[in-house]
Amino acid sequence: MSGDARPGLLSVEAALAQLLALAEQAPILDRETLPLAEAQGRVLAEPLVAGLDLPPWPNSAMDGYALRLADWQGEPLRVSQRILAGQAPEPLEPGSCARIFTGAPLPEGADCVEMQENTEVLADGRVRFLAPLKAGQNVRPRGQEARLGEQVLDAGTRLGPVQLGLCASLGAARLVVRRRPRVAVLSTGDELVEPGQPLGPGQIYNSNRRLLGSWLERLGCTVVDAGILPDDLARTRARLAELGDVDLILSSGGVSVGEADFLGKVLREEGELMLWKLAIKPGKPLTVGHYQSVPVIGLPGNPASTLVTFALLARPYLLRRLGVAKVTPLRFPVPAGFAWNRAGSRREYLRARFELGRAVLYPNQSSGVLRSVSWADGLVEIPEGRTLVEGEPVDFIPLSELLV
């Protein structure tokens, strides 16, 4: 599929492979130790190894009665103890059962729990079991989730609510994580004005600064906000010189080759510049290079292009610099809720919603229309050279995969 890219255009896979190789040459290795409550969004620098069996003892999955099946002939059993979660039980007396509640440790000697709904308490207090029983039923065995010494999370795992909950369940109070990357965000263009300011003739509000800044914060980065860079060589040079110690310079706009490519000019003088023409729509031009020794990625300026190229290229690049192994988003085929008649020379990422089991498109797919992404649940990927009839499968990448 990727072989169909127009000659001279770099396929999305090839661009991603090159960026990931660059990321691996510039890993951000510094680490810090953080309490769990501060580790959200960070990347584990060391594997998480279970320091205990989880659960540490067999316990009941139900409110009911624990018994030893091997010794039981089907007769009603007297209740010899009552075990609540958080209590340490006595060994089970032979010929009896134990009242037990969810999460309470199974008494030694018991091997089965019957839920209370399937029992009847007789007038003399004994319990009759109404349904057939199986050994091990409703018992959560010791170590069913993790064994002492087992590697539960790999180094390079991103920490979200689930991973942090898992760390907590294993008693880990502090985690060793990679430090936050420092990312300078530059918006280029004389036409840009910040929200809150009046718009003059020919001016537009700067959306990419907030888009990228918020996204980078979610990715665990420290944003060094370098504001709006005017289309002017001397001021571009000066602004870059002021940035200080950052791990990445991320710009948007001004990537098109030509008069207005001031960032490119400075990189040529004081670093390295590659101008990639990608077989991607939206978002054909991408700047990749260095300013002095700091990596630079220059995204195209149209907001939907900025978004797509950040999502598919810059985001994986940044995550890989932190040692994250899985950096490409989950995708799955869904039936197209539209027809696609003109085969393109670039791979298209269309903003779509998943409705009634089909991907339907936002009516305006212009690269300037950020609203299309706000409306969408995900991106539909149409490979180069492909046409589609309605109902054919297309790959769908949920935005929820990309925006974290």
Question: Residues in the site for ligand AMP, rule: CB under 6 A?
Answer: 187-189, 191-192, 204, 206-209, 252-256, 300-303
**Binding-residue total with Mg ion (CB under 5 A):** 3
Q: Which is nearer to ligand AMP, 154 or 191 (CB)?
A: 191
Binder of residue 255, out of Mg ion, ligand AMP, none (CB less than 5 to 8 A by kind): ligand AMP
Phi first, then psi: give them for residue 312, nearest 5 degrees. Answer: -95, -20
Taking the least distance from each CB to ligand AMP, the nearer of 96 and 207 is: 207
Q: Which residues of 305-327 are buried (b: 16+ CB within 10 A; e: fewer)?
A: bbbbbbbbbbbbbbbbbbbbeeb
- Which candidate, 59, 12, 99, 6, places its Cα nearest to that of 329? 12
Q: How far is the CB of 230 from Mg ion (least distance, A)?
A: 10
Q: Which residue is nearest to ligand AMP (CB)?
A: 301
Applying CB under 5 A, which of residues 109, 189, 264, 323 lies at the interface with Mg ion?
189
φ/ψ region of 171 (left if φ > 0, alpha if ψ in -120 to 50, else beta) reads left
| Least separation in angstroms between CB 4 and ligand AMP | 26
Q: Cβ 204 to ligand AMP, closest distance in Å?
A: 6
Nearest to ligand AMP of 111, 231 (CB atom) = 231
Closest-CA residue to 73 (of 41, 44, 95, 101): 95
50, 170 contact by CB (below 8 A): yes
Question: In angstroms, what is the minimal distance from the CB of 184 to ligand AMP?
Answer: 14
Residues in the chain, overall count: 404
Q: Which is nearer to Mg ion, 118 or 256 (CB)?
A: 256
Q: For Mg ion, which stretch binds (CB under 5 A), given 118-126, 162-170, 249-257, 325-333?
A: 249-257
Q: Which of residues 11 and 302 has its CB atom nearest to ligand AMP in the complex?
A: 302
* Residue 46 binds which of ligand AMP, Mg ion, none (CB < 5-8 A, kind-dependent): none
- Residue 119 or residue 251: which is nearer to Mg ion going by CB? 251
Q: What DSSP letter does each residue of 277-326 carry, written as one string? A: EBSEES--EEEEEEETTEEEEEE-SSHHHHHHHIIIIIHHHHHHHTT-S-
Answer with the entry of ligand AMP, Mg ion, none that 107 interacts with (C-beta below 5 to 8 A by kind): none
Task: Give the nearest distance from C-beta 8 to ligand AMP in angstroms.
Answer: 19
Instruction: Say which entry of Mg ion, ligand AMP, none residue 199 contacts (CB below 5 to 8 A, set by partner kind).
Output: none
Question: Can you tell me the distance from the alpha carbon of 21 to that of 23, in angstroms, rounded to the nearest whole number?
Answer: 5
176 or 193: whose CB is closer to ligand AMP? 193
Q: According to CB under 5 A, which one of 89, 109, 220, 254 is a site residue for Mg ion?
A: 254
Judge contact between 253 and 185, C-beta under 8 A.
no
Q: How far is the CB of 252 from ligand AMP (least distance, A)?
A: 5
**What is the nearest approach in angstroms of ligand AMP to the Cβ of residue 344?**
20
- Say if residue 200 is exposed, middle or buried (CB neighbours under 10 Å; 0-12, 13-18, 19+): exposed
Least distance from ligand AMP to the Cβ atom of residue 369, Å = 11
**What's the CA gap between 141 and 55, in Å, rounded?**
7
Residue 52 or 228: which CB sits closer to ligand AMP? 228
Per CB under 5 A, residues contacting Mg ion are 189, 253-254
